[in-house]
Amino acid sequence: MGGFKQFLVRGNIVELAVAVIVGATFSGLVQAFVRDLITPLIGAITGGRQPDFSQYSFTINGSRFMYGDFLNHLLSFLIISAIVYWLIVAPMSRLISLLERDKSATSKQCPECLSDIPAEARRCANCTVELVPDSQKPR
């Protein structure tokens, strides 16, 4: 039982639970945004009354296809995806590229063992090969 308690209170599990709760709440918020703001905006632009996408359907051979609800969910998905990309993915990618650029400016690769070593090193700490400083390399 102690192992199970430890598993439940481990940091990753708690963070995942918080992320799921926030994600579900955010999903509800975006669905309300689509239903209460985007859909009426489309109705105002098209000149009609406030459209209710969930009621859009067509019939083939007596089978009714309700495609309107799918449109609502598609709009929600696109909005959530755009927000996640622009507020999380793009900034994190930029941050990672900045960190990698800084890392490459302060480190280099050993020609013998291919490990990362400080740029100013004269000897590799891993394989002890003597290194030629960048200022003495032939051009």
CATH number at 80 reads: 1.10.1200.120
In a domain, 60, yes or no: yes
pLDDT in tens, the chain (139 residues): 677 777 666 667 777 888 888 888 888 888 888 778 887 787 778 776 656 677 788 899 999 888 888 887 888 788 878 887 888 888 888 888 887 776 656 778 888 888 888 888 888 888 888 887 655 555 5
CA–CA gap between residue 114 and residue 79 (Å, rounded)? 44
Number of independent structural domains in the chain: 1
**Residue 54, burial from CB neighbour count under 10 angstroms (0-12, 13-18, 19+):** middle
In a domain, 40, yes or no: yes
In a domain, 102, yes or no: yes
pLDDT at site 33: 83
In a domain, 126, yes or no: no
In a domain, 127, yes or no: no
Range of the domain at 38: 2-106
Give the predicted TM-score (pTM) of the model: 0.50
In a domain, 99, yes or no: yes
In a domain, 121, yes or no: no
pLDDT at site 39: 76
Token readout for 57 is 């359907």
Q: Where are the alpha helices (DSSP H) in 60-130?
A: 68-84, 90-106
In a domain, 134, yes or no: no
